[in-house]
Amino acid sequence: MILLTDISRVFHMGDQGVRALDGVDLEIDTGEYVSIMGPSGSGKSTLLNVIGLLDQPDGGRYELDGKDVTDLSEIEKARVRREKIGFVFQSFHLVPRLTAAENIELPLILEGIPPAERKSRVDEALRGFNLQDRAAHRPSELSGGQRQRVAIARATILRPTALLADEPTGNLDHRIGAEVMVLLEGLHEAGTTLIVVTHDRELGARAQRHIAMLDGKIVSDERQGKFPGGNSLA
Amino acid sequence: MNILKLSLRMLARDWRAGELRVLVFALVIAVGGMTTVGFFADRVQVALSRQGNQLLGADLIIFSDHPLAPHYAEEAKRRGLSISTAIKFPSMTAKGEESLLTEIKAVTEGYPLRGELRISEDFSNGTPPAERVTHIANRIPSPGTAWVDEKLMIGFSLKRGDRIEVGSSRFAVDALITQEPDYSIGFLNLRPRVLINEADLAATGLIQQGSRIGYRLLVSGDSGDVEEFRKWAEQRLMLGEKIEGIRDARPEIRSALERAEKFLSLTALASVVLAAAAAALAVRRFTQRHLDGCAVMRCLGASQDAMLRLYLYHFLTLGFVASSLGCLLGFVAQQVLTYWLSGLVEAELPWPTVWPGVHGVLTGTVLLLGFALPPLLGLRSVPALRVMRRDIGMPPQGLAGYGLGLGVLALLFLWKAGDLRLGASVIGGFIVAIAVFGVLGFLLMRMLAHIRNQAGGAWRYGLASIRRRAAASVLQAVALGLGLMALLALTLIRDDLLRNWQTSLPPDAPNHFLVNIQEDQLESLTAFFKERGMQLPKVFPMVRGRLTEINGKAIASENYADIRAKRLVEREFNLSWASEMQSDNQIVKGRWWKPEDPGEEEISLEEDIAKTIGIHVGDTLTYDIAGSVFSAKVTSLRKVNWDSFRVNFFVVTPPGVLEQYPASYVTSFYLPSTHVELTNQLVKEFPNLLVLDVAAILTQVQRMIEQVTKAVEFVFLFTLLAGVAVLYAAIVSTQDERIQEAAIFRTLGARRKQLARAWAAEFAILGGLAGFFAAAGASALGYVVAEYALNLTYTFNSWIWLIGIGAGAAGVTLAGLLGTRAALSTPPLMTLRRI
């Protein structure tokens, strides 16, 4: 369970301070499927970064699965990320020098899992994401959809409780994007909390819960409803 | 283990992707250059000491005033060393009615073990030595024959086949000795020489009780074995026995060798600096390019510790492999170059030891780590947030980040210099240079910002680029400046050193010593020189005495551990007097006496000998001079320039102190080879005079110096190559930025030519800046090293500024444009897609 209380984050641009998050309160239950939407600069990515322990809030409190993770050390944050959170990015962020299989294997190595188990889990993931024949290919030799599947396989190989996706289909065409969403939703159905940040209203509408942000604040939070004020969004 | 495997896997992939090429290239060239220096210097060192040994005729000689116990020879043989013996003694040699005091040397097969014994069958009188046809004697005189030197040939007007008498034996003169390796210019060996076979010795009847005979065992072989044998033999030396290697030989040769060693160490240091600069630049680029990968791994939950290990293994392996490759290159390069230079390097160079290789690998790896570790520490703390926000990078490092690397460098300096003072002065120079460069760099950047507005097109852009990358520009200019500085300093110091050597051995350096001049001969000798339109050179009085007491305490050789000290206290000193100090002497402690107070019992002692025996200003020395006791107080220590080949004395007193003792006189003068008849006439007219021709020795020493010069120039070539590596690394380190920049500019309508011109301006400014740093640093460093470490008089060279700035600007511009060709030719669309 994710519980954010009065979270704020200020960026300093030159002499000015920009409030990327301004007193955000948010509770996301385990197994929820949430979309976060809003215009550029609304703070949705910053919110995702805070939830993913990539960014440190300037104020407020963050509890993950009942534990206060607001002020964890770098080492503890790395451990929590490894164990509980998976990331899927718009630009995939695969390690270019490693093959598809090696990219998927990376979190297992960092977790210190023995080679034999690593191999079986990677093989399983490759099968699960239909990447068997792409295992030995480098990211540059894969199509966009394949890259994102590798990224998702990598994000989920340690079976995180929450999967954070930042514009997961932003770099993909419509058809491939839809395929990727089906994959992610499959993972949600299997019990993973799925949080998707997107510009795409159609994509956002697929979630069970829709959060809209503007100027660092949550301006609406609806479950299974239509996105309000959609006309104002680009 | 998992991390190690991952690290190695990524290293291999990085290598294949070309990510590591610059770093590896820099390291290979740098370590290659360094080990080339190392290997070659190693070989030159061994060759030099062998060349020195040529003057000795062996690697080691055991001298004795009694027949040597057979165990020395047996042990040497057992250790696989080559041996030969020589027995030397003074004796009258006669031809018909004439007789002369000569130095007889009886030798056994194998003599000399080192160096060349050259002989000639041409006995024509008056032929200058240089024109006489000579050849290497690969044998010793056959029994019943004798080889004589030119002095005896002239003295007796000898022809080949003439008979001479030595003791009760008669010998047929078979050859003329033109070069004898162990013929030293010591005052004991001034007599004409006769070389015979030891088999004939007994028959001469000259070996009797009380004869002044010197026995010598010559030993040669592998330097390690010789050293071991020396240690063994030193334990067993009896009274009247002593060991001499090249290090114990003539002071002027010793000082030449030591200087050569220091200089080669300096040359090696220059490569180390370049290696450091290249590594620093290449590592910087590497870390920049790995920021994203690190951020992803951090995002996936990699701990800082895991990240550090990942890259530590990476760099350890990389350092080891690249340094090994560098060593290989160094080994091959020195082999190839030695082959090319075989005609120039007159001595055959022995194989190098493995140590330069071991040093190279260690140095390369440690140096890389020293410069890689701080950025790696930064890399491990790359925030995971960088995956979302690319503007977040590593915390800025500045020059302070290189503290560890510079520390490693400092240790390497001390180790390589093998001399605390030299190492420290070079380190000091570099530290000051870095600090000054850094500050100057930032000040210049600020100034450039003001000039920018007045500059035209390309220059304006170039200045803007440098200003925009201020920290990186200063870093590059400092690194390049350091590289250039090392090169400039090397040329400066080299020139100074060579100039010093050349001037210390001017073409008219004395080449003849006239010894054993009696007081009553001074007048007739003056007349002799006057008749020939010459002036009698300055004569120096000489009294022989043995040091017996220091501060009233009797001295004995066994009280000294140092072999040279033992030898010095055993032998007789030549004491002289003078009112004025010679120009090649310099007081280092105490004061020289005033001309108006002669007659004081004072001593001015040579600094080195005082240090060896342990004598200080204020000590009272007691000498035994021909049975009388003479005591005086040491009032000054002098530094003597032995390289001048002028008459010099370890012990000098004021006039009016030693005059009561029996003295002879000595002088030295320059005689052109065309005036060789003068020495003949001198010998005929003054039979007791000993005329010593040191031309041969001078030729040998000069040849040695020339070889060192060639070696240094050759070594310098590789330092230059390492400098190119620095330049290359510096240019490549900004390539990514340039590719992006080119794409954006070209999209906005800039032509390639415009961009090339703007970059050329930027490179020219950067190179000029580096050249300026280099010229400033090199002048300062040159002064410090020359003045304080090498004891040379340093003259500032104003050309260095013009050369430094000009070569820096031209070199960097040319290399920069070559290095950025790829950036200019990459289609903008391809780059923009990647951004």
> What are A160-203's pLDDT values in tens digits?
899 999 888 888 888 888 888 888 899 899 899 999 998 888 88
Contacts of B290 in chain A (CB under 8 A): none
Greater confidence, B333 or B259?
Answer: B333
Interface test with B, best of A50, A54, A99 (most B CBs within 10 A): A54
**Mean pLDDT across the stretch B669-692?**
69
Mean pLDDT over the full length of chain A = 86
In whole angstroms, what is the distance from residue B638 CA to residue B644 CA? 15
- pTM (2 d.p.): 0.59
Q: Crossing angle of helices A115-128/A144-156, nearest 10°?
A: 130
Residues belonging to chain A with any Cβ–Cβ distance to chain B shorter than 8 Å: 45, 48-49, 52-55, 74-75, 78-83, 87, 89, 93-98, 102, 106-107, 109-112, 115, 154, 158, 166
CB pairs under 8 A between A and B: 83
Residue B827: exposed, middle, or buried by beta-carbon count in 10 A (0-12, 13-18, 19+)? exposed
**Top-level class of domain A30-54+74-224:** alpha beta
The residue in chain B having the minimum alpha-carbon distance to the alpha carbon of residue A158 is B300
Chain A nearest C-alpha distance from B10 (Å): 7
The domain ranges of chain B are 2-49+254-504+701-834, 56-253, 512-669
Contacts of A97 in chain B (CB under 8 A): 10, 13-14, 17, 19, 293
In whole angstroms, what is the distance from residue B724 CA to residue B730 CA? 10
What is the percentage of chain B residues whose pLDDT exceeds 70? 75
Q: Are A97 and B6 a contacting pair at CB < 8 A?
A: no
Greater confidence, B432 or A188?
Answer: A188
Q: Are B297 and A110 a contacting pair at CB < 8 A?
A: yes
Which of A77-86, B246-255, B448-457 bottoms out in mean pLDDT, i.e. has the lowest? Answer: B246-255
Q: What is the pLDDT of residue A164?
A: 92
Q: Are A81 and B300 a contacting pair at CB < 8 A?
A: yes
Q: Are B304 and A78 a contacting pair at CB < 8 A?
A: yes
Q: Are B299 and A98 a contacting pair at CB < 8 A?
A: no
Contacts of A52 in chain B (CB under 8 A): 299
Give this complex's ipTM.
Answer: 0.76
Interface test with A, best of B296, B300, B379, B834 (most A CBs within 10 A): B300
Label residue A14 left, alpha or beta by phi (over 0 means left) and psi (-120 to 50 means alpha): left
Banded model confidence at residue B432, pLDDT cuts 50, 70, 90: confident
Contact B183, B693 (CB under 8 A): no
Chain A nearest C-alpha distance from B291 (Å): 11
The residue in chain B having the minimum alpha-carbon distance to the alpha carbon of residue A116 is B2
Buried b (16+ CB within 10 A) or exposed e, B75-88: bbeeeebbbbbbbb
Label residue A41 left, alpha or beta by phi (over 0 means left) and psi (-120 to 50 means alpha): left
> What are B77-127's pLDDT values in tens digits?
999 999 999 998 777 787 876 767 788 899 999 888 887 788 998 888 767
In whole angstroms, what is the distance from residue A11 CA to residue A30 CA? 30
Q: Is the pLDDT of residue A232 over 50?
A: no
Give ∠ CA A164-A165-A169 in degrees, rounded to 5. Answer: 170
Contacts of B301 in chain A (CB under 8 A): 78-83, 107, 110-111, 158
Mean pLDDT over the full length of chain B = 77
Element (H, E) at B163: strand B163-166
Identify the three-state secondary structure at position B624. Answer: strand
- Helix H segments across chain A? 44-51, 74-84, 100-111, 115-128, 144-156, 174-189, 201-205
Chain B nearest C-alpha distance from A104 (Å): 11
The domain ranges of chain A are 30-54+74-224
Q: Are B292 and A110 a contacting pair at CB < 8 A?
A: no
> What are B370-384's pLDDT values in tens digits?
887 877 777 777 777
Contacts of B2 in chain A (CB under 8 A): 109, 112, 115
Chain B nearest C-alpha distance from A38 (Å): 17
> What are B222-281's pLDDT values in tens digits?
888 998 999 999 888 876 678 877 666 544 444 554 555 566 666 666 667 777 777 777
